[in-house]
Amino acid sequence: MPGAVHHASCSNNKKLEVIKWYETHGIKSTLQRFFSHVTKQKTSENQVYQWKQNRAIIEESCKTARTAVKKKNRSSGVATSLPTAAELELVEWVNALRNEV
């Protein structure tokens, strides 16, 4: 798509790996190691700085295997299109159907 900006998403594990590398080796080495394929290095540099600012959130996400592989850190309910009450009602309905079988 012409003019579109495409970002490759990274898992929380990968983000933490990049942060740790940056802290011991600096930004130039980090960009060479993890983002050598990227044409706009400044964008990647800014991304690394943003991840560093969010390190506590990323580290917390890496504590469980389920969230360590996720690429976005969203609060529960952020990506749902139904109200929480309606979603819980659906869960109860599905569980009731499972119990009937």
Q: Enumerate residues 6+ apart whose C-beta is below 8 A from 23.
A: 52
DSSP H helix total and E strand total for the chain: 6, 0
Please report, rounded to a whole number, the percentage of residues in the chain having pLDDT higher than 90: 60
- Of the pLDDT bands very low, low, confident and very high (cuts 50, 70, 90), residue 74 is confident
Q: Residue 62: which domain range? A: 12-73
The domain total for the chain is: 1
Q: State mean pLDDT over 45-66.
A: 94
Does residue 32 lie in a domain region?
Answer: yes
Q: Which residue in the block uniquely carries the two structure tokens 């990323």? A: 58
Does residue 50 lie in a domain region?
Answer: yes
Would you say 75 and 69 are in contact if contact means Cβ atoms under 8 Å apart? no
Does residue 99 lie in a domain region?
Answer: no
